[in-house]
Structures are given as C-alpha cells and as structure tokens.
C-alpha cells in the first residue's frame, strides 16, 4: 500500500470515528448536551431476547390476557431526553421536561417514528423515560422499536424528572409536552446521524386523549402525520366523568375516584383556581387526596373507592356539575371536535371498566355527523376486553396498520 493510500485510509478511519462520537459518548451513560437546553443520555440496551420476553410473558401478566405479537428482530438503545418546554396555562412559564427515545439497531439512517402517549399512572417514574417501571412502554418498545421503528414518549408535566405538579388531563400542557418532545427527539436523532420520515401517533387511556389532543396541535401546525391509533381513549372528559357521577355502570372500576382527585388538583394548579379541589372533595378525604396527588406517603386504603364518599353531594346534580368551576373546565377538556384530516383508528373494548363503548366510538360518531360525514375516524372493537386487555389487543393491530404501505 502506498503512503498516499495509507494516509487516505487513516483519514477515513478518523472521520468515521469523529462521526460516531455523539453515539459513543452517549453509550458511556453521560449526558450529551445539545443546543437550546436539550440533552440525552443512554439508559440501557435491550437485546432481542429481552424484547421477546416482554411480548411473550410480561405483557400477558400485565394485561391478564394472552395476545400474539410479532417477535422482535433487532435490539434497541434507550435514551432519556431532557428538553425545555413551557406551561401554556401559566403564561408560557419555562420548565424542563423529560421523555424517552428508543432507537432500533438496524441498517439505514431514516426510519419511521411512533410517538406513544402513556396512560394514567400513580408513580412519578412509571413513565416512558423510566421504561423498567412502565409495562405499557415496554410493550411499545418491544413491538415497534424491536421491529425497526423509532419510538418516543413524553413524560407529562409533573412526571418523570419534571419538578412541576402533575398536569393530569390539562390539555394545553399535554399538547406542549408532546410537541416539544417531538422537536427535541428530532434534534437528538440529528446528533446521532439519524432521521425519521413518517410520523405515527398512538396512545392508551389517558394517553389516548393526549394522542388526539397532540394530533389537533400537529394538524394546526401543519406537521404531517401518517396515521393515528388509540385504545380506550376518553376523548370527552365531561362525558366520561358525568357517566361515573350520574350514569354509573355495574362494571365501573373502583379506582375511577382517583380520576377526580388527579384532575381537580391539576386543574386547580394549572388553571389557577385556588380551592378548586377542596370544592369537589369531601372534607374527610381531602388530605389523603392531596397526598395522593402530590405523591406524598399515604395509605391507598384510605382513598375511597365509592364516588359518593369522595365527591361532595352537589356534584351528583348534573346541572350543578355543568355550571361549577370544575365542571366548566372539564367540559372544555375534549379532543375530537375539529375537522380531523389524518386517518384515525380508535380501538375500544366492550367490557372496558373505564371507557364505555359509546365513548370509545364518540370521535367517529361526531366526525360522521358533520354533513355528509368525515370518514377519517374509525372506531374498532377489540371484543369483550377489559381496559388493559383493550390496549394489549390493540397494539398488534396498530403495528399491522402502521406497516401498510
């Protein structure tokens, strides 16, 4: 080999090393800091064996049903992304938020991306950027990132490593968290020498609502979305809570009381309505409810499972509920009343203990009631499945649909 050839080879090697530095640095577990306050840190590498164990064993235990999933074909690197955001309800006050970026180990630099919005959780770290503590995120990693998709997931404000109070079902903040996580993830991918071509959205339960709200923001901003899928999405929170208060079903989950706790305190904090939660919750249960919301130590057995024990009697009058400060905020918390342009599939379970069948069909019903009908939203049954079962059965259907050309 000539001297010139050896020099050229050495230069190529050095250039290759230089181009790999961001990823190599991240592999050390040290944060990589980018412009505009964004940083990312490698959390773990999950191999194919672990991903398939999630699909074959762990998810079945979490959901309580047996469902078939397409096996993983590649390992995945998991990164926590830290990024700046703002709270729209508080005058765009600057904050810092976190989320997960899962990168499949596959050939190619341009990959499809799924943004997953997580469901209601009770631990601050039961969220995407702490994947070991989030079974639903594990399933999404195994089924999507384990087959070549980039996967991202925002920890909502107040969750993960955010220092804010939780913003449960606070629509504007959910939209901001997910939108800024998408932008931050694209910056991280660029630093890793990667890019995404198609964007898909998916979410379960609370995350189904957040997914639809996120879609509304993306369509308004002109950001293309290939397709959207949800499971057990409460797209109209007023309808959901009114059902628990005034039209209860025999199979309503005993933990729906926590939905009132989390939303009343969140609305008080984010919308700036002092005393809102106290006006909703009976005095004898206010303190344990406050501790539950703030994630302070408390005995879960002290939280009532009967709504009439937790909620003040006036709220069981539909007119009072509708005209109350809490009811008016709840009524504004919807994510389906605009002209949807993106293909959407809302999956619902016919034995879901949280989301009634008609609520699962609501976005489709509303869109098709507009004139000659907007066909972009389709509601699909997963059969007589529970809340978790609906998610478990929906995920492989999401994957099949997103895979279509």
pLDDT along the chain (405 residues), means of 10: 37 35 52 95 98 97 95 98 98 98 97 98 95 98 98 97 96 98 98 97 98 98 98 98 97 97 98 98 98 94 96 98 98 98 98 98 98 98 98 98 94
Distance CA 15, CA 85 (A): 35
Q: Around 95, how many Cα atoms within 13 Å sit in the side-chain half-sphere?
A: 27
For position 15, what pLDDT does the model report? 35
For position 116, what pLDDT does the model report? 98
Q: Under 8 Å CB-to-CB from 319, ≥6 apart: which residues?
A: none
Q: Under 8 Å CB-to-CB from 262, ≥6 apart: which residues?
A: 120, 166, 168, 169, 292, 293
Ordered alpha helix ranges (H), 84-205: 135-143, 171-191
Q: Around 403, how many Cα atoms within 13 Å sit in the side-chain half-sphere?
A: 12
For position 405, what pLDDT does the model report? 81
Run of H or E residues at 103: strand 93-104
The single residue listed with the structure tokens 């890019």 is 195
Distance CA 298, CA 43 (A): 30
Structure token digits, residue 234: 């409460």
CA 324, chain centre distance (Å): 29
CA 355, chain centre distance (Å): 17
For position 333, what pLDDT does the model report? 98
Residue pair 63/382 in contact by the 8 Å Cβ criterion: no
CA 147, chain centre distance (Å): 20
For position 14, what pLDDT does the model report? 34
The single residue listed with the structure tokens 């997953």 is 116
Structure token digits, residue 368: 């098709």
Distance CA 77, CA 46 (A): 6
For position 28, what pLDDT does the model report? 52
| CA geometry: angle 167, 170, 173, nearest 5 deg | 80
For position 29, what pLDDT does the model report? 77
Structure token digits, residue 137: 């995120």
* 231 to 61, 84, 174, 390, 397: CA distances (angstroms): 19, 29, 17, 6, 11
Ordered alpha helix ranges (H), 28-170: 48-53, 59-63, 135-143
Q: Please name which of 329, 356, 322, 323 lies closest in space to residue 243, comparing C-alpha atoms.
A: 356
What number of other Cβ atoms are within 10 A of residue 208's Cβ? 31
Beta bridge partners of 229: 202, 345
The single residue listed with the structure tokens 């999950």 is 46
For position 165, what pLDDT does the model report? 95
For position 361, what pLDDT does the model report? 98
Residue pair 95/86 in contact by the 8 Å Cβ criterion: yes
The single residue listed with the structure tokens 């809302």 is 346
Sign of the torsion angle spanned by Cα atoms 264, 270, 276, 277: positive
Coil, strand or helix at 191: helix
- DSSP codes, 80-92: EEEEEEEEGGGTS
């Amino acid at each position: 080999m000539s001297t010139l050839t050896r020099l050229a080879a050495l230069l190529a090697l050095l250039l290759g090393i230089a181009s790999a530095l961001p990823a190599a640095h991240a592999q050390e577990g040290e944060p990589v800091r980018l412009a505009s306050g964004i940083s990312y840190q490698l959390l773990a590498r999950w191999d194919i064996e672990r991903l398939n164990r999630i699909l074959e064993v762990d998810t079945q235990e979490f959901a309580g049903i047996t469902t078939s999933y397409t096996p993983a074909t590649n390992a995945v690197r998991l990164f926590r992304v830290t990024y700046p955001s703002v709270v729209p309800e508080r005058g765009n006050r600057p904050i810092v938020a976190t989320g997960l970026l899962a990168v499949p180990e596959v050939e190619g630099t341009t990959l499809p991306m799924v943004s997953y919005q997580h469901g209601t959780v009770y631990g601050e770290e039961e969220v995407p950027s702490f994947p070991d503590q989030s079974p639903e995120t594990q399933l999404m990693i195994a089924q999507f990132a384990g087959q070549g998709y980039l996967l991202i997931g925002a920890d909502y404000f107040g969750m993960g490593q955010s220092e804010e109070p939780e913003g449960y079902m606070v629509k504007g903040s959910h939209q901001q968290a997910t939108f800024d996580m998408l932008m931050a993830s694209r910056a991280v991918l660029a630093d890793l020498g990667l890019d995404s071509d198609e964007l898909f959205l998916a979410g379960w339960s609370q995350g189904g609502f957040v997914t639809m709200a996120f879609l509304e923001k993306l369509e308004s901003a002109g950001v293309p979305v290939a397709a959207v899928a949800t499971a057990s999405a409460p797209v109209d929170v007023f309808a959901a809570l009114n059902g628990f208060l005034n039209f209860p079903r025999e199979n309503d989950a005993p933990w729906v009381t926590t939905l009132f706790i989390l939303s009343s305190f969140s609305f008080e904090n984010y919308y700036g309505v002092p005393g809102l939660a106290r006006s909703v919750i009976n005095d004898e249960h206010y303190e344990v409810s406050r501790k539950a919301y703030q994630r302070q130590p408390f005995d879960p057995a002290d939280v009532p499972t009967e709504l009439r024990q937790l909620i003040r009697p006036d709220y069981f009058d539909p007119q009072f509920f509708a005209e109350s400060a809490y009811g008016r905020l709840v009524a504004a918390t919807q994510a389906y009343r605009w002209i949807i342009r993106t293909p959407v599939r809302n999956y619902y379970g016919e034995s879901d203990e949280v989301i009634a069948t008609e609520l699962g069909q609501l976005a489709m019903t509303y869109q098709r009631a507009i004139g000659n009908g907007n066909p972009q939203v389709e509601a699909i049954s997963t059969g007589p499945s529970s809340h978790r079962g609906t998610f478990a059965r929906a995920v492989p259907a999401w994957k099949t649909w997103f895979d279509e050309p």
